[in-house]
Amino acid sequence: MIKVFSQNHAYGIEIGRGLLSSLGRYCSRLSVGKDAFIVTNARVKRAYGGICALSLKEAGFTVSFCLVGDSEKSKSLAVCGKVLERLAGFDRGKRPFIVALGGGVVGDLAGFCAAVYKRGIPYVQVPTTLLAQVDSSIGGKTAVDLKAGKNLAGAFYPPRLVVTDVELLASLPRRQLVSGMAEVVKYGVISDPGLFRRLEADSSKILAGGLKELEYCVERCARIKAAIVSRDEREEKGLRTILNFGHTVGHAVEAASCYSGITHGEAISIGMACACSLSVRLGLLDGANAARVENALRLYGLPVMAGNTLTPRLIIEPLFRDKKFKGKNRFVLLRDIGRPVIVDDVSPELIREVVRARIRS
């Protein structure tokens, strides 16, 4: 078990194969409540709802499902309101806790509902996408989107437990797996040269869904994220900032594409390629290492160039609105694989030049 420390409470991340059928047993070791309110979507319920509910019932919990739509649109105040009303209806003389069974969308929404219902009830994350297993289920950031931007209404509210069953990745569409691999490459690049070398060596096994290799990746990444958020939960000490490698330009690419047609992982892959180019141009990183990062991204079929429907202006304007850009032209750059550095005041001309070179002509 990996332990995460937070201002609220410490919690564990259990990682392995076939763990979903032990979910009830894990929950019964905690004092989370007696009545499980499972937030999920129809696709995930079809595949895993049965095992999840059976495991909870066998451990003595009552179970109710709450289905939300399968898209980012579910991360809204409107859907949050519906979930809370359903939860209030379920919660008559009960001791409810939430089980977030799904990817990052379900995890962020269900976590936010848990944070605000009765000023906070326990919840358990059961991440089912690679992105959720290596990233969104850990660290307690919960949120819904507003018209003005993504994740604008949120709370730091850690789960009581994360149960990560890598077998659930077997049913993930390839594009989602590849998208999650962008985050895995990010962890290797910012903090784990050993993981990075394994990613270079094992791409065909990983892309074929090799569970042994995927479990290694998930476990390494979860450890890295757990260590970082345990020391800087609220992004106050600059440590959590390094997780943003590739995300400054990545978020801008997503915004420029109006969050459709490109996955988060594909966008941050382009962002990581830009961050490497900036690092080389600023004399921080040598060209050979930048090429290694680019090559690793390509091995997983991730893009390093943006499509030509994007213009430099479309990408650069949202960049200057990014809430993490902080008006200081702040970037997480690289000195070496495993050695990130935060750099302020990167010149807008250089940013423009690097972004322009990353748009396919």
Ligand X SMILES: NC(=O)c1ccc[n+]([C@@H]2O[C@H](COP(=O)([O-])OP(=O)(O)OC[C@H]3O[C@@H](n4cnc5c(N)ncnc54)[C@H](O)[C@@H]3O)[C@@H](O)[C@H]2O)c1
Segment 64-93, which members bind ligand X (CB under 6 A)?
Answer: 70, 72, 75
CB of residue 234 to ligand X, shortest distance in Å: 12
Stretch that binds ligand X, among 17-25, 135-143, 209-217, 298-306 (CB under 6 A): 135-143
Q: Of 12, 24, 102, 303, which lies in the binding site for ligand X, with binding defined by CB under 6 A? A: 102
Whose Cβ is closer to ligand X: residue 182's or residue 304's? 182
Whether 360 is a known active-site residue: answer no
Q: Of 11, 36, 41, 192, which lies in the binding site for ligand X, with binding defined by CB under 6 A? A: 41
Window 208-247: contact mask with ligand X (x via CB under 6 A): ----------------------------------------
Whether 119 is a known active-site residue: answer yes
CB of 334 closer than 8 Å to CB of 282: no
Segment 243-302, which members bind ligand X (CB under 6 A)?
Answer: 264
Q: Is 45 in the site for ligand X (CB under 6 A)?
A: no
Q: Of 32, 44, 115, 185, which lies in the binding site for ligand X, with binding defined by CB under 6 A? A: 44
CB of residue 200 to ligand X, shortest distance in Å: 24
CB of residue 347 to ligand X, shortest distance in Å: 29
CB of residue 49 to ligand X, shortest distance in Å: 12
Count residues near ligand X (CB under 6 A): 28
CA 107 – CA 285 distance, rounded (Å): 36
Whether 247 is a known active-site residue: answer yes
Q: Is 139 in the site for ligand X (CB under 6 A)?
A: yes
Whose Cβ is closer to ligand X: residue 108's or residue 322's? 108
Instruction: Count Cβ neighbours within 10 Å for each residue of 112-144 and write b for 16 or more, e otherwise.
Output: bbbbebeeebbbbbbbbbbbbbbbbbbbbbbbb
Stretch that binds ligand X, among 6-14, 53-61, 166-174, 296-304 (CB under 6 A): 166-174
SS (H, E, C) the chain: CEEECCCCCCEEEEEECCHHHHHHHHHHCCCCCCEEEEEECHHHHHHHHHHHHHHHHHCCCEEEEEECCCCHHHCCHHHHHHHHHHHHHHCCCCCEEEEEEECHHHHHHHHHHHHHHHHCCCEEEEECCHHHHHHHCCCCEEEEEECCEEEEEEEECCCCEEEEEHHHHHHCCHHHHHHHHHHHHHHHHHHCHHHHHHHHHCHHHHHCCCHHHHHHHHHHHHHHHHHHHHHCCCCCCCCHHHHHCCHHHHHHHHHHCCCCCCCHHHHHHHHHHHHHHHHHHCCCCCHHHHHHHHHHHHHCCCCCCECCCCCHHHHHHHHHHCCCCCCCCCEEEEEECCEEEEECCCCHHHHHHHHHHCECC
Whether 34 is a known active-site residue: answer no
Of 240, 266, 289, 330, the catalytic one is 240
Whether 240 is a known active-site residue: answer yes
Stretch that binds ligand X, among 80-88, 168-176, 249-257, 291-299 (CB under 6 A): 168-176
Which residues are tagged catalytic?
Answer: 119, 141, 183, 225, 235, 240, 244, 247, 251, 264
The residues that touch ligand X, with contacts defined as CB under 6 A, are: 41, 43-44, 47, 70, 72, 75, 102-106, 108, 128-129, 131-132, 135-136, 139, 141, 150-151, 168, 171-172, 176, 264
